[in-house]
Structure 1
């Protein structure tokens, strides 16, 4: 199921959805990691952008 792009807000912006190609492209560029690194980190710490950034030391 696709994201409803008309329903954005904090919960949507704070989570990394690895099921959407455009989100993977955005987050890999934003965080400076590869797709595999992003997937591994999300699996290790969860899908919140805050947890991923903390893991990366950002």
Structure 2
């Protein structure tokens, strides 16, 4: 089923989807980083939220 344009679901907590604006907004606010920095980390470690958190903690 296609994503609803009027009803937004809670972003998944285990994966970060950079193709969904509302998820990017959630994760950038939650992690307190810019979209570009989030993309760099995802390019490096993948889209697992746990891996991204771990990478950010290591910096």
- Asked if these proteins are the same fold (TM beyond 0.5), I'd say yes
Instruction: Choose between structure 1 and 2: higher helix proportion.
Output: 1
Runs of 4+ that moved beyond 6 A:
none
Mapping 1:1-58, distance limit 5 Å:
2=3, 5=9, 12-57=12-57
What CA distance in whole angstroms lies between the structure 2 residues aligned with 1:44 and 1:2? 27
Write out per-residue CA displacement over residues 13-52 of structure 1, whole angstroms, 9 at most, x where no aligned residue: 2000000000000000000100000001000000000000
Which 5+ residue runs of structure 1 have no aligned equivalent?
A: none
Secondary structure at 2:23's aligned position in 1?
A: helix
Report how many residues are paired: 53
TM-score normalised by structure 1 residue count: 0.78
TM-score normalised by structure 2 residue count: 0.77
